[in-house]
Amino acid sequence: MNRMLDLTMLTKQPLHSQPFRWGQINDLYSAQDAAALAATYPHDAFKRVYGYGGEKDYEYQARQLVEMGTGRIVHLEGLSPAWRELAAELSSEAYRLAMSGLTDMDLRTAPMEINVFHYGPQACLGPHPDLSDKLVTHILYFNESWNISDGGCLNILGSADPMDVVAVIPPLVGHSAVLVRADHSWHAVSKVVDNCRTSRRSMTVTFYRAGSLSSMWPAADQAPLHDYEGPHD
């Protein structure tokens, strides 16, 4: 059976141990599949997520792809065949096993959810370690091209200081990053510049501790959903 995801890329090299356990994994798809995913990136059923002045500033647009704990692909009618295939493969036992091997953590039965994001002009995610109920996050990217000077890059940080940058990962399709949650797993997304001609496009696959609930899509969430209509050249 041919798969879209090349899971062998998750076993090619160990995670970095400093400043926390993380890794960059590239070439997850064939050139043909990468082009199809980038060209048909979802634009439906997004909500605005934002907050300023708290522990971290953040603003972006989020769409549910796979529901927390159930494996249900959400808003299936808005997805291209390539995106339906990717969502199914990320929900598979084979992917869980590969991620378990990479992180040396048993993720086979961990609650998991998948969300996709548009970061338009001025969107950002300030320095933070992930919430304590998260175990591992795999961040995948879907921009066909990207200028680092436009912001929108994942910054691996050595501390809470946004200038303490250890590594910069641009959001290019086929690139991804794996973050193992710790109290010191500081990271951020640099602010997208005002005149950026496209959105920064990413996905998070997040594995949680048993019994956790989704912080992105709480049960009482009444946020209206809309089509994303920001820059997408």
pLDDT in tens, 4-57: 999 999 988 899 999 999 999 999 999 999 999 999 999 999 999 999 887 788
Residue 159 counted as domain residue: yes
Measured distance CA(166)–CA(31) in Å, rounded: 29
| E strands in 44-119 | 47-51, 58-66, 112-119
Residue 2 counted as domain residue: no
Residue 221 counted as domain residue: no
Residue 99 counted as domain residue: yes
Contact 202, 139 (CB under 8 A): yes
Backbone angles phi, psi at 204, to 5 degrees: -120, 130
The structural domain count of the chain equals: 1
Measured distance CA(79)–CA(40) in Å, rounded: 8
The 3-state DSSP class for residue 119 equals: strand
Which residue, among 179, 180, 177, has the nearest Cα to 168 in the 3D structure?
177
Measured distance CA(91)–CA(22) in Å, rounded: 21
Residue 36 counted as domain residue: yes
Contact 90, 49 (CB under 8 A): no
The 3-state DSSP class for residue 162 equals: coil
Measured distance CA(60)–CA(64) in Å, rounded: 13
Domain that holds residue 35: 7-208
Measured distance CA(181)–CA(130) in Å, rounded: 6
User: What pLDDT was estimated at residue 1?
Assistant: 60
Helices (runs of H) and strands (runs of E) counted in the chain: 3, 11
For the CA atoms of the chain, what is the radius of gyration?
16
Residue 215 counted as domain residue: no
As a whole-number percent, the residues of the chain with pLDDT over 90 amount to 89
User: Does 233 score more than 60 pLDDT?
Assistant: no
Q: 42-56 as b/e, with b when 16 or more CB fall inside 10 Å?
A: bbebbbebeeeeeeb
What is the helix (H) or strand (E) element at residue 99, kind and residue range? helix 93-103
Average pLDDT, the chain: 95
DSSP assignment letter at 69: T
Residue 35 counted as domain residue: yes
Contact 127, 188 (CB under 8 A): yes
What is the tens place of the pLDDT at every residue in 129-186?
999 999 999 999 999 999 999 999 999 999 999 999 999 999 999 999 999 999 999 9
Residue 165 counted as domain residue: yes
Domain of 91, CATH number, reads: 2.60.120.620
Measured distance CA(103)–CA(23) in Å, rounded: 10
Contact 195, 114 (CB under 8 A): no
User: What pLDDT was estimated at residue 34?
Assistant: 97
